[in-house]
Amino acid sequence: MTLAAKTEYACLAMLELAQHYDSLQPVQVRRIAEEHGIPSPFLVQILQDLKRARLVTSTRGAAGGYRLARTPEEVTLADVFDVVEGNSVPTTCSSTDSPMAPVLLDVCNELSIARHKQLANITLAELLARATVEAGPMWYI
């Protein structure tokens, strides 16, 4: 499965905000963009979409930025994907008039529903925990 750049950037931004959730300080767009290699203008558009969906809040000014609107335990990947990609099931699977096309459409619908259910079971907090385990402990000398 390949993620669209917009979806990947939205997920990375949300994970960055989740990582800083306990600090109670907003995270600047510039910091997120630099940390994850996301073009700033594109990131601003994504964060505005997430704000309209009430997944993030923003603070203006020099010390401003973005914060999660809910705890990382309450935000799922389905929440993020729904904002960026929409939550729709396919209505067509092909442009053919084949009598077999409805069977393929049924499978596409089943896959779409299963994907959404799986994404709804993964929170930002769980992803942060996975990232910590995969990165392993850091040793400083």
| Domain assignment present for 139 | no
Whether the CA torsion 83, 89, 91, 92 is positive or negative: it is positive
**Whole-number pLDDT of residue 97:** 72
Cα 107 from Cα 112, distance rounded (Å):
9
Total count of domains within the chain: 1
Cα 132 from Cα 100, distance rounded (Å):
47
Share of the chain above pLDDT 90, in %: 64
We report the CATH number of the domain holding residue 110 as 1.10.10.10
| Domain assignment present for 87 | yes
Domain of 107 in residue numbering reads as 5-132
**Whole-number pLDDT of residue 137:** 59
| Domain assignment present for 22 | yes
pLDDT tens digits, one per residue of 2-55: 788 999 999 999 999 999 999 989 999 999 999 999 999 999 999 999 999 999
| Domain assignment present for 67 | yes
- Please list the helix, strand and coil fractions of the chain in percent, rounded to the nearest 5, in that order: 55, 10, 35
Cα angle value 121/125/127 (rounded, 5°): 75
Assess contact for 56 and 50: CB atoms under 8 A.
yes
